[in-house]
């Protein structure tokens, strides 16, 4: 038997051993996440985000509760975008910066936060922010040095979280076209 036929046979056996793979090949828009209890602490929509703090590249510590009702910098919404500074993340960040943020500049106060979960230190995050062109932008960039935010929000590259002024998570999903982010902000901003 030739080497190519051997590889093809091995691949076929592997696929048949996996059982029914049709569900994996036909994605749907159905939300398969387990149901959550509203106003419980967690990471899913309708849950309350646990407070956190992380070092920011502007020399401060970003603390979520500072941006919620009653906080020192109370705002209407906090948007977290998990980035690893790859081309896909940069295109999403640019889309947020140039297409989404301008739509909401006159509607309430929104804090846009880039969560760097790969650089490992505030020094490396600062370099990554500058190299990618976001130093001095409207984004607050924070270093998730021990990936605690990644774990808290079940983050991943491109994960976008919207938290309202009461700390309730309104959105937690992968960034696609930005439409879900726009719809969510339209719902919660004055």
| Chain segment 121-139, per-residue pLDDT in tens | 999 999 999 999 999 999 9
pLDDT confidence bin for 35, thresholds 50/70/90: confident
Each residue of 61-96: pLDDT tens digit? Answer: 999 999 999 999 999 999 999 999 999 999 999 999
**Residues 6 or more apart from 163 whose CB is under 8 A from it?**
49, 64, 68, 77, 78, 79, 80, 169, 170
Superfamily (CATH H level) for 36-188: Glutaredoxin (3.40.30.10)
Q: Decide which of 74 and 26 is more confident.
A: 74
Residue 31: the pLDDT is 67
Q: Are 142 and 54 in contact (CB under 8 A)?
A: yes
Stretch 12-29: mean pLDDT = 54
Q: How distant, in Å, are the alpha carbons of 80, 167, 180 from that of 174?
A: 11, 20, 10
pLDDT at 69: 97
- Eight-state DSSP code of residue 41: B
Return d(Cα 82, Cα 39) in angstroms, integer.
Answer: 23
The span from the CA of 188 to the CA of 190, in Å, is 7
Domain boundaries, the chain: 36-188
User: Is the predicted pLDDT of residue 24 greater than 60, yes or no?
Assistant: no
Q: Give the chain's end-to-end CA distance (angstroms, integer).
A: 69
User: What pTM was estimated for this model as a whole?
Assistant: 0.82
- In this prediction, residues 102-114 reach a mean pLDDT of 97
Tokens read off for 113: 């936060």
What pLDDT shows up at residue 17? 47
What's the pLDDT at 58?
97
pLDDT at 5 over 90: no
* CA distances to 78, 170, 173 from 184, in Å: 12, 7, 12
């Amino acid at each position: 038997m030739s080497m190519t036929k051997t590889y093809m046979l091995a691949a076929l056996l592997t696929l048949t051993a996996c059982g029914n793979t049709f569900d994996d090949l036909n994605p749907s828009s159905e939300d398969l996440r387990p149901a959550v209890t509203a106003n419980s602490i967690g990471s899913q929509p309708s849950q309350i985000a646990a407070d956190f703090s992380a070092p920011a590249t502007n020399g401060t510590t970003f603390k979520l509760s500072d941006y919620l009702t009653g906080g020192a910098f109370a705002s209407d919404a906090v948007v977290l975008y998990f980035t690893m500074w790859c081309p896909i993340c940069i295109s999403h960040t640019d889309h947020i910066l140039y297409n989404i943020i301008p739509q909401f500049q006159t509607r309430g106060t929104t804090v846009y936060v880039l969560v760097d979960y790969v650089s490992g230190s505030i020094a490396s995050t600062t370099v990554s922010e500058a190299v990618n062109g976001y130093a001095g932008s409207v984004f607050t960039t924070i270093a998730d040095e021990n990936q605690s935010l990644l774990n808290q929000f079940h983050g991943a590259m491109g994960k976008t979280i919207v938290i309202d002024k009461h700390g309730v998570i309104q959105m937690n999903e992968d960034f696609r076209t930005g439409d879900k982010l726009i719809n969510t902000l339209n719902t919660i901003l004055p």
